[in-house]
């Protein structure tokens, strides 16, 4: 371990931003930026595990990303196919458990099958818990969760007065996963962009101007040091 475990966040959530700008700065097509960003995922996951972080969740493709130009979306889907194939090998090599959050029903059948296979193959791994948000949106996740709860109430399986935060959390994509302690967004933007709206209620937010493909282990250490220096009160007084 390169850092002390004490004070290290158990779960970090990352918004991978800046791939397009990284490519533009190098006079490359946007897709080259996405490819470079994809390659950086494994490095940061390995660095996080080395620091003692147990859970990493990354925002890979949002429900809003479908509105991008068709050629860019097609290229992203092609990259996802390739990444999920590589992730099968990576999860085995790094003993990593992988879970996809989001509504995968809009993805093509081959992608859905790859996701199911990856989750099944890696389910017994005991290393880093890695969550990938695909076709994910925080509002959509909450809507799907509320719809499921309403169905259970209608069927008499759940009483309205029994609905509490625990019940709601159990109906979200992240059921069984601890809420993030730290949210990192690269590229200088300072907004959540519909990411983990329920789960980030008490997380510390760290924003950096570094573009995602350039985000390094050293940058991750800076984010963790920021977290360690924060005074987490969870609404109380110390």
Catalytic residues, by residue number, are 17, 65
The pair of structure tokens assigned to 6 is 């004490």
Where do the H-state alpha helices sit in the chain?
19-25, 30-51, 70-93, 109-122, 138-154, 165-170, 217-229
What is the C-alpha to C-alpha distance for residues 110 and 114, in angstroms, rounded to an integer?
6
The pair of structure tokens assigned to 148 is 């499921």
Question: What DSSP line would sit under 21-81, residue for residue?
Answer: HHHHHTT--HHHHHHHHHHHHHHHHHHHHHHT--EEEEEEEEGGGGGS-HHHHHHHHHHHH
Contact criterion met (CB below 8 Å) for 75 and 65:
no
- Residue 225: C-alpha distances to residues 93, 209, 219, 229 (Å): 28, 17, 10, 6
Contact criterion met (CB below 8 Å) for 189 and 21:
no
The residues, any chain, with a CB within 8 Å of residue 89's CB and separated by 6 or more, are none
């Amino acid at each position: 371990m390169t850092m002390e475990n004490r004070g290290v966040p158990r779960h970090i959530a990352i918004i991978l931003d800046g791939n397009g700008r990284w490519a533009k700065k190098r006079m490359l097509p946007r897709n080259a930026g996405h490819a470079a960003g994809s390659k950086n995922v494994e490095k940061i996951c390995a660095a996080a595990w080395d620091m003692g972080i147990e859970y990493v969740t990354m925002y890979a493709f949002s429900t809003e990303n479908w509105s991008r130009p068709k050629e860019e979306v097609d290229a992203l889907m092609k990259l996802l196919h390739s990444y999920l194939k590589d992730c099968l090998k990576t999860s085995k090599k790094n003993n990593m458990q992988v879970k996809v959050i989001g509504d995968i029903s809009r993805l093509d059948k081959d992608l859905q099958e790859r996701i199911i296979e990856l989750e099944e193959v890696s389910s017994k791994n005991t290393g880093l818990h890695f969550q990938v948000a695909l076709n994910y949106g925080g509002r959509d996740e909450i809507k799907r969760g509320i719809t499921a709860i309403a169905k259970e109430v209608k069927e008499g399986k759940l009483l309205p007065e029994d609905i509490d935060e625990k019940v709601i959390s159990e109906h979200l994509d992240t059921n069984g996963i601890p809420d993030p302690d730290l949210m990192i967004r690269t590229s200088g933007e300072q907004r959540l962009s519909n990411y983990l709206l329920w789960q980030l209620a008490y997380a510390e937010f760290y924003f950096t101007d570094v573009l995602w493909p350039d985000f390094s282990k050293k940058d991750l250490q800076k984010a963790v040091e920021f977290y360690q220096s924060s005074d987490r009160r969870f609404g109380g007084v110390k």
